[in-house]
Structure 1
Amino acid sequence: MAKKAAETKPDALKGQEPVILLKGPERLLHQLAIQNMERGLLQQHGPDGVAVERHQGDQMQLADVLDALRTPSLLAPHTIVIIEGAEGLIKENENAEDSVVPGRKKARTPRQVLEDGLATPFPNATLILQVLEAEKWRPGRIDRAIVDLGGALVDCKPPSEKDVLGWIDRLAEDHKRQIDVEARAVLLERVGPELSQLDSELRKLAGASEERIDAKLVKQLVAKSSSDEVWALQEAVLSGDPKRTAQVLHEVLDIGRKSTVPAFWCLIDLARKLAALSINAERGIDPWSLSRALKLWGPAQGPTLNAGTRINPDVAAQLHREALDAQLAPRQGRGNERRALETLAIRLTLACAG
């Protein structure tokens, strides 16, 4: 088996690579790699010495790409040709003609045409291939040809859980701010590890702060993710406290400005799980054995299992039917959607209170 070509990081790019392949879903790393290439090339060719062309891989012929690389630009001495969705550029078509020699059928696949094209240097251009869905790019001779030409394969996968905190610090510094340790943790909890989204939120936080970003500011300006809000509503219902449930609904619908659809889904899902747990508990089945089937894990697992075993099966089944009807009724002209949601939430909360 051929040895896999080594991958590098965006920060390692200097602008001297004739071809780079960006593989992975993290868009901010794609952007960083392209910026590093542009910076390096501008240093070599001067502020007006680099032109940039952007193309979609599924909307451009491979022959046109190769022509763009070999034909000197009239705008600048050097051209960066960026192909977004490069996997579309080499997608094979059983009935297609050779993309370089018209009339020749199946002589060479698009992959082979690109491999051959990369075998010859193109001194006046740089090719950047972007692949967000790395699984659609089959590594092979193209990757090796890129490396042999002096190019680079760039890893654009999301950072690990260990590395993402360092990225938050770095992105905050990019916006001329420092971020407190607690604020960093809150931001990651609410936004998740996607660097592009973290960068967007940090830009907003930087605009609202002078030097440091603290946890209070993050809580004020960064909304919780939809999954966090869903669990917060289920958690409130399971607590058996109607005031807490009403407060969470207010946060979701009024402060978060979310529609009632996710909240209805959340309550219907909870009602279904409680009904299943209650009926099986009456049959003597260990509720913990149902966790996998009901997709119960994490902090929601214990409270849901405990509530499900306490509720009467008939009551649980009736609540599930009411939950389904509550979502449908407003759509059929029977009542107000928000009022139906609030009523259902309080009914479930009181049932969980016992």
Structure 2
Amino acid sequence: MQVYLFQEKEQVLRLYSENDRLKLREMEDRKKIQQLLTLLGRDEGEVTVLPRPAETQEHDDISSTGTEKSTLKPSANGEDPGNSERYQKDDETLLLQVKALQAQIEEQTRLAKEQVEALLEDRRIQMEEAEVRHQRDQDKIKTVTEKLHKTQNLLYESTRDFLQLRFSARANEKAWMAEKDSLLRKLGKDLDHLVFSTESGKKKQRELKKMLQENDGDSKVHSREIKLLQDKLIQEKNLSHMYREQCVSLEGEVARIREERDAGKELFKERSGKLEKRLKLMTQRCEALEKRRSLEVEGFKNDIKQLQQKMKGVEKHIYKVALNLGPDQDLAILREVRQGNKLTRTVLIFLKASAILPLRSLTM
């Protein structure tokens, strides 16, 4: 949006400069027509105002030299007031041109400064956005890292509990097996010494059955405990597998966030480099405009000095020509006046023909 705005401002400045140039051209054309009318002795209302080409000025000045005596008289100090007024208008025109160019250069400089400020503001905003994005990524990485540490701690604790339960189950199983073996050996020895025919043998047999039933009850209890421990072991395995999957997913997310951070850094560096290049280019343009402005001002000053010197030379030449004219040259002057009138008519016809195209181009 700012680029379009700057383009519109540049277009407006170009239109202003074109308007100033056309106004100055119109003033020059009016001044030249006024000079022709002054030389011919006509009123301004009798002739249509048209723009005049620059290449016919020198020929008209030479052809109208003989008519200056009849229309203008030299002043007391030998200077022509018409020429003085004309050169004064030239000076005013040049001063107006200088002012217009100075205004254009100031507008261009102001526009360049605005562009530089806008570029600096864009760079600052992008740097702030990059810092905020970087801080957000750092916070996210920190949060994910904390979750990963917590998950690793939980996995470590669950693995430790699982191993402890497993070791205790194995120890209980070994103790139960040892007790069972000892009971079986004792039972075998008792069976060898028992006498089943006697009452004491029957009594011992009943005691033995009772002992075996008690041992069976203990074995069932131990088997249930073993089954519970196996179920817990399966649950611990499932939990460890789930925690391992969560750790893998979190590590992938951390890697993705780091890649995004690296890509953001590269993009920020690239944009910063482009903005620095544009800033350097705009600075060079401003310096070139300042240098051009100083050179144009110096050139216009030199042109004004040269025009002033030419004006003094032309005034001296007119004074000498006016002094050299005698009373016997009236007929020659009249002939020259008539020739000047004819030449003026042809020039006006030529101006009418040549002014059609510029007027059409301006209206279009």
Superposition TM-score, scaled by structure 1 size:
0.19
- Greater C-alpha radius of gyration: 2
Higher helix share: 2
Superposition TM-score, scaled by structure 2 size:
0.18
- Greater length-normalized contact order (CA 8 Å, ≥ 6 residues apart): 2
